[in-house]
Amino acid sequence: MTNAEIGNRIRHARDLRAATLDDIAQKVGVTKSTVQRYENGKINNIKIPVVESIATALGVNPAWIIGKSDVMELPSHVPPKIIQYYNQLNDIGKHEAEKRVEELTYLPQYTLGIKAAHNDYIDEPGELEKMRDDLANLKRPDAGR
């Protein structure tokens, strides 16, 4: 998808939400002219965190903005609390938050225990049977309740 097409989607969503350039700039933490440059396709290689911030500010699917989904609307216009809190942080705070969430993944009481969701070697002998065994041994996260 071209920068102009991404910009058109941002502008379309902003128009649907009746949001001003200032509204979005303030929520994303950039200047009004930067948002306008995104909308006009004047910024090359828009970064994924910026797309996510703009999508959050507009209450739309970030994958739709970049053309990876046909679904614009999210199930709810209110982003999850963790995203709301994360978007209020500066770069240092975001880095610390990412470290803390990563740390939680090392603690078994906070994880689902599933380590992989695909098999790149499915065509090799015996792999299909291993996959079937793994699926049979999976336990639902709420199974122990």
When pLDDT is averaged across residues 65-79 and rounded to a whole number, the result is 79
Domain-embedded: residue 128: no
Residue 73 counted as domain residue: yes
pLDDT higher than threshold 50 for residue 145: no
- Average per-residue pLDDT in the chain? 83
Q: What is the pTM of this model?
A: 0.52
With respect to residue 100, please indicate whether it lies within any of the assigned structural domains: no
Residue 118 lies in a domain: no
129: in domain:
no
**Dihedral of alpha carbons 143, 98, 93, 36, sign:** negative
Torsion of CA 101, 107, 112, 118, to 10 degrees: 80
Residue 55 has pLDDT above 90, yes or no: yes
